[in-house]
Amino acid sequence: MSEELVKLKIDGQEVEVPRGTTILQAAKKLGIRIPTMCYHERLTPIGSCRMCMVEVKDYDHPVPACMTPVEEDIEVITDSDLLFEIRRNALKLMLLNHPLDCPICDKGGECDLQDLVYEFQIDKVEFQEKLPNKGLPEYATPFIRQWADRCIMCLRCITACREITGRQAIDIVGKGWDARVAVVDEEACKSCGECLFVCPTGALTDKLCNIKGRLWTYNRVQTTCGYCGVGCQLELNVYENKVIKVTSKNGVGPNKGSLCIKGRFGYEFIHSEDRLTKPLIKKNGDFVEASWDEALTLIKDKLTEIKEKYGPDSIYGLTSARATNEENYTFQKFFRSVIGTNNIDHCARL
């Protein structure tokens, strides 16, 4: 199926894209950045924030680049004094709905709003309105805290809940100044944290761990989730040798940033007090702590004795679908070449 191509100019540069492409996508193809706030690659354009307004020659008004499809031969301007003012005012209006409480916000340092306010040199809140205090309402899941006063109503969370997870646990409730994101169907929430993942501000924050930190106070290590076989890429946020949060990166891995409850909130077992910390040897029916040397020597002696008496096939090794490739390889190599048996298997069938 051949797609119909449309030719247009953005900031004087020519580009050809399939019909139906938005101005924002076409600009991205040229490497031209248009500031955005409510737009998210995986969601249908929302068009609520007015940050991506662009001028098109011969059009009456500036248009939102995220929602406007390209037309043949149009000429788009992505940066001008007028656009700077429009975007700056859009941000100022957002700040009506957002206290500048950055010093106490978990999102500080990785907040889209903070970055844009900085970029657009907004040094004071000009518009003041006495808004009702929305406080910290109960959210759809106990593992996310909703800071209702920080919500700029970009609607990303609601859209992600509906489009990515196919649920509708949250929606807009109320009108005018009272309008807010609220839980409409608690049962529908699967605690996947997709809303938390797409929130561009600190209106939704992780509530599971009581140790909080900000971007520069901990390390983020990208790894592969240890649960099901999808192989989601996630980031373990580490503070003083402790995993305090799981985050994910948009577009990265087979999951493209999405996770489920297990991947996002199921990490606490890592630091469980029940973890085994020392080798144990059973003596008279009870486990007794032992040194590594003692435990390994005993294993070697016993396995050697059994092998000599009953042959290598009297020993069986269960390797693991939880362990790495390197560990699995080494395990079967040990059994095949040192013990001398092919009695190796794992829980692939279970």
Partner 1 sequence: MTNSIEDMTLKAEVILVTGSNTSECHPVIANYVREAVMKNGAKLIVVDPKRIDLVDYAEIWLQPKPGNNVAWINGFMNVIINNNLHDEEFINEHTEGFEELKKVVERYTPEYVEEITGIPAEKLEKAAKIYGEAKAASILYAMGITQHSNGTDNVKSLANLAMITGNIGKEGAGVNPLRGQNNVQGACDMGGLPNVYPGYQPVDNEENCKKFSSEWGASCNINKGAPLTEIPNLVEEGKLKALYIMGENPLVSDPDLNHLKKCIEKLDFIVVQDIFMTETAQYADVVLPGACFAEKDGTFTNTERRVQRVRKAVNPPGEAKDDLTILSMLAEKFGVKYSNNPEDVFEEIRKVTPQYAGITYKRIEENDGVCWPCPDEEHPGTPILHVGKIARGKGLLTPIENKPPVEQPDEEYPFILTTGRRYEHFHTATMTRRARALNYYSPEPRLEINPEDAKQLGINDGDEIIVKSRRGEVKTKAMISDRVSKGVVFGCFHFSEAAINVLTLHALDPVAKIPEYKVCAVRIEKA
Sheet holding 63-64, edge to edge: 13-18, 5-10, 75-77, 53-56, 63-64
Instruction: Identify the residue among 233, 245, 284, 286 touching partner 1 (CB under 8 A).
Output: 233
By CB under 8 A, residue 138 contacts partner 1: no
- Residue 155 C-beta: closest distance to partner 1, Å: 17
> Residue 29's closest CA among 64, 87, 76?
76
Instruction: Identify the residue among 121, 241, 284, 286 touching partner 1 (CB under 8 A).
Output: 241
Contacts of partner 1 in 312-341 (CB under 8 A) = 312-338, 340-341
Q: What is the spatial distance between Cα 209 and Cα 205, in angstroms, rounded to a whole number?
A: 11
- Residue 114 C-beta: closest distance to partner 1, Å: 27
Decide if 27 contacts 9 (C-beta within 8 A). no
CB-count burial class (<10 Å; 0-12, 13-18, 19+) for 48: middle
Tell me which stretch binds partner 1 (CB under 8 A): 10-18, 111-119, 151-159, 223-231.
Answer: 223-231
Query: What is the chain's Cα-based Rg?
Result: 28
Read out DSSP for 41-88? TTS-----S-TTEEEETT-SS-EETTTPBP-TT-EEE---HHHHHHHH
By CB under 8 A, residue 224 contacts partner 1: yes
Tell me which stretch binds partner 1 (CB under 8 A): 54-62, 89-97, 128-136, 158-166.
Answer: 158-166
Contacts of partner 1 in 13-42 (CB under 8 A) = none
Residue 137 tokens, joined? 């309402």
Q: What is the spatial distance between Cα 263 and Cα 255, in angstroms, rounded to a whole number?
A: 11
| Number of shown-chain residues binding partner 1 (CB under 8 A) | 107
- Residue 175 C-beta: closest distance to partner 1, Å: 28
- Residue 78 C-beta: closest distance to partner 1, Å: 27
Compare residues 178 and 185 and give the one whose CB is closer to partner 1. 185
- Residue 86 C-beta: closest distance to partner 1, Å: 30
Instruction: Identify the residue among 142, 168, 179, 185 touching partner 1 (CB under 8 A).
Output: 142
Compare residues 97 and 319 and give the one whose CB is closer to partner 1. 319
- Over the window 251 to 290, marking each residue x when it contacts partner 1 by CB under 8 A and - when it does not, the resulting string is -xxxx--xxxxx--xxxxxxxx-xxxxxxxxx----x--x
- Residue 3 C-beta: closest distance to partner 1, Å: 15
Close Cβ partners of 329 (under 8 Å, ≥ 6 residues apart) = none
Compare residues 13 and 168 and give the one whose CB is closer to partner 1. 168
Q: What is the spatial distance between Cα 10 and Cα 303, in angstroms, rounded to a whole number?
A: 73
- Residue 158 C-beta: closest distance to partner 1, Å: 15
Chain centroid to CA 298 = 46
13-18 and 63-64 beta bridge pairing: unpaired
Contacts of partner 1 in 163-222 (CB under 8 A) = 163-166, 190-192, 208, 219, 221-222
- Residue 106 C-beta: closest distance to partner 1, Å: 17
